[in-house]
Amino acid sequence: MTTIPDPSVFRLLPSVDELLRNDAMAALIHEQGRLNVTEAARLALSELRARISRGTLSAETLDAELRALPVTLQLRVAENTSSSLRRVINASGILIHTNLGRAPLSRLAAERIAGITTGYSNLEFDLDKGERGRRNAHAQNLFSRIFARQAITDTRTAVVNNNAAAVLLALAALAEGGEVIVSRGELVEIGGSFRIPDIMARSGAVLREVGTTNRTRIDDYEKAITERTRLLLRVHRSNFEIVGFTEQPEVADLVELGQRRGIPVMEDLGSGALVDLALYGIHDEPNVFDSLRAGVSLVTYSGDKLLGGPQAGLISGEPALVDKVCKHPLFRALRVDKLCYAALEATLLSYLQEEYDDIPLLRMMRIPAEQLERRCREIAASVEGYVTEVVAVQTMIGGGAAAGKSIKSFAVALACKEISAGELALRMRRFPVPVVARVEDGRVLLDLRTVDCVDDAYLANSLNSIARAE
Ligand SMILES: *Cc1c(COP(=O)(O)O)cnc(C)c1O
């Protein structure tokens, strides 16, 4: 290898035009666009030029590089034009995984998004009057009908960007400049960035803490009420539990106190289920109906947790309060777009039609464990080069929802002699459709509750390709 640059080698480099003037490159240009291919070609040539200058490319080695160039360009262009947001297979054993996009949308929701958003819509247009309408009219009716079936009448629902926004907006609209009473046991942080005291400060309301971390009595709330009190706030401890010597007033007691003193009760539920979770094997977890039925004036919850819809923050409750929320200037800043309304309405329609299995999250929660065990055995039997075991596991609900609650499930546990569990998990994340698994006790665990059964064969084939490469 020469270390002194040979000027004659530069002359062997083709121009960008010459490089692109052949059938393979014409096809690539047709597929990926001229600018994308030209940019990649220019960069590849300048890298070769730099290597010639450093004296690390001779006429012979350059020839090999040039022959490899079409393939190199193809790969590079593909890399540059691939989106960074990709579908992944969730085998992590966490149902609502915030890092993996929380609730998958139903097919109907996806079709509705496509149908509504690829053209114009009446997002903010009153078709009867032929003039400007209100976007908040969408989803409204569907929510009201769902609540009415539970004998909850006279409610209204506002939709904003996420539940953090819903809490911020509700506090700003109803308590700015006044005080909000919260138990010290409920000053929670969710997902590292949502902290009740911080949101409260941003809303312009003053936090009035009462009780202690483990025990708060209804008396504590009552004693803290002054003429400045605007709300009694209850926050669901959605990602932790306090056990032992604890006390917390019932929602009904808070509502009674609020009604007696003329102060609305607001509840941040976090994961707002619109079904009875006991039917899904999750017990003692409040749903939106329970709160509204107990007389809570305003409930806030996420659209993409147990509801199984798009990212959204929902504010349901007394019409006068929800109207006040919608009139606040922050509502404009936190509003959602047509994609969200389209997906939310489609999801709510599945509830109204009682087609719960259309909603992926609810469907996955209901798969019988024996069915998952059978699928685990099939995968275990079809992979080679691994020590496998089918193990009983618990799928966590996750997503800052239903703290500590889980559903019985099964997983394939895999160990490969040649590579560590961490390395195996990494290679699975590098599959064309990445697989996210968890590592436990030196093995990779694939919990199938959150894996679509059509992906089972893909899992087995990809695992076999890793083992064969070793
Ligand atoms: C998840 C959660 C939030 C935040 O909701 P996002 O939709 O993520 O903004 C707020 N409060 C509670 C109790 C939660 O569980």
Which residue's CA is the nearest one to ligand 1's atom 3? Answer: 270
CB of 397 shorter than 6 A to ligand 1:
no
Q: What is the pLDDT of residue 328?
A: 97
Instruction: Please state whether 295 falls in left (phi above 0), alpha (psi between -120 and 50) or beta.
Output: left
> Domain locations in the chain?
8-81, 89-95+364-469, 107-358
C-alpha of 333 from chain center: 21
User: What pTM value is reported for the model?
Assistant: 0.91
Report the top-level CATH class of 89-95+364-469: alpha beta
CB of 400 shorter than 6 A to ligand 1:
yes
- β partners of residue 41: none
Q: What is the pLDDT of residue 400?
A: 67
Ligand 1 centroid to Cα of residue 300, in Å, is 9
Q: Across 257-308, where does the E strand assignment appear? A: 265-270, 298-302
Per-residue pLDDT of the chain (470 residues; tens, 9 = 90+): 446 777 888 999 999 999 999 898 999 999 999 999 999 999 999 999 999 999 888 888 999 999 999 899 999 998 888 889 999 999 999 999 999 999 999 999 999 999 999 999 999 999 999 999 999 999 999 999 999 999 999 999 999 999 999 999 999 999 999 999 999 998 888 766 788 889 999 999 999 999 988 889 999 999 999 999 999 999 988 767 777 778 888 999 999 999 999 999 999 998 889 999 999 888 888 899 999 999 999 999 999 999 999 999 999 999 999 999 999 999 999 999 999 999 999 999 999 999 999 999 999 999 999 999 999 999 999 999 999 999 999 999 987 666 678 999 999 999 998 899 999 999 999 999 999 999 999 999 999 999 999 999 999 999 999 998 88
Look-up: residue for tokens 């690390």? 56
Ligand 1 centroid to Cα of residue 400, in Å, is 7
Ligand 1 centroid to Cα of residue 398, in Å, is 12
Q: What is the pLDDT of residue 401?
A: 61
CB of 164 shorter than 6 A to ligand 1:
yes
Going by CATH, does the domain composed of 107-358 fall within 3.40.640.10?
Answer: yes
CA angle 77, 79, 83 (to 5 degrees): 115
Contacts of 397 (CB under 8 A, 6+ apart): 94, 95, 96, 271, 282, 306, 405, 406, 407
CB of 159 shorter than 6 A to ligand 1:
no
Q: What is the largest CA-CA distance in the chain?
A: 94
Distance, CA of 133 to CA of 125 (rounded, Å): 4
- If one residue of 171, 268, 307, 314 were mutated to test the ligand 1 pocket, choosing by the most ligand atoms within 8 A of its CB, it would be 268
Q: What is the pLDDT of residue 402?
A: 64
**Which of 374, 394, 371 minimizes the C-alpha distance to 447?**
394
Q: What is the per-residue DSSP string for 438-449? A: EEETTEEEEEGG
CB of 300 shorter than 6 A to ligand 1:
no
Contacts of 232 (CB under 8 A, 6+ apart): 180, 181, 221, 254, 257, 258, 263, 264, 265, 266
Q: What is the pLDDT of residue 131?
A: 97
Distance, CA of 240 to CA of 263 (rounded, Å): 28
Q: How many residues does the chain have?
A: 470
Query: Does residue 320 contact residue 154 with C-beta atoms inside 8 Å?
Result: no
Which residue's CA is the nearest one to ligand 1's atom 7? Answer: 163
SS3 content of the chain, % helix, strand, coil (to 5): 45, 15, 35
